[in-house]
Amino acid sequence: METVEIDIRGQLCPATLLVALKEINARASLLRRGAVKLCFLIDNRDATGTIPESASNMGYAVNVAKQQEGWYRIEVAARL
């Protein structure tokens, strides 16, 4: 499975969420087939709630992990 990393740290609110939704929608069929996994790098605390909520409501599996350097990594992939 290919992992696509998208760095949206420091972006204007709500660009973080908008970019994430755009990327998810643009790769919807690849994501659903399990051919690709998206990995968003964010440092917007609000988006640690909104991106997982939106993605999981769209039917994807979401995993959030805080990184030592103080930002968050949100993985969005097909549900197993």
Partner 1 sequence: MTLSMHPYVFLGSVSLLLGLAAGFVMHRSDFCIAGMFRDIFLFRRFTMIRSFVLLVVATMALFEAARLFGLLSVYPFPLLYAPTAANVIGGFLFGIGMVLAGGCVVGTLYKMGSGSALSMTAFIGLIIGSGLYAEVHPAWAAFIKQTTFFPGKVTIAQILGVNPFITVLAVVSPAAALLFSWYRRDAFTRPSFASGYLQPFRAALALALIGAASSVLVGMPLGVTSSFTKAAGWAESALMKAHYAGLTVYSAVPLNFIHRLTGPAALTGGPGPAFDALAAIQVPLIIGIVAGSAFSAALLGELRFSYRVPGRQYALAAGGGILMGLASRLAPTCNVWHLLGGLPLLAASSMLFLIGILGGAWLGGLLLLRLLGTGSGGIDGGLCSTRKDAA
17 is an interface residue for partner 1 by CB under 8 A: yes
Binders of partner 1 in range 50-69 (CB under 8 A): 52-54, 57-58, 64, 66, 68-69
Question: What sign results for the dihedral spanned by CA atoms 55, 36, 61, 45?
Answer: negative
- Distance, in Å, from the CA atom of 79 to the CA atom of 76, rounded to the nearest integer, reads 9
Amino acid letter at 28? A
- Between 19 and 37, CB nearer to partner 1: 19
> In the complex, which residues of this chain contact partner 1 (CB under 8 A)?
7, 9-15, 17-22, 24-25, 43-46, 48-49, 52-54, 57-58, 64, 66, 68-72
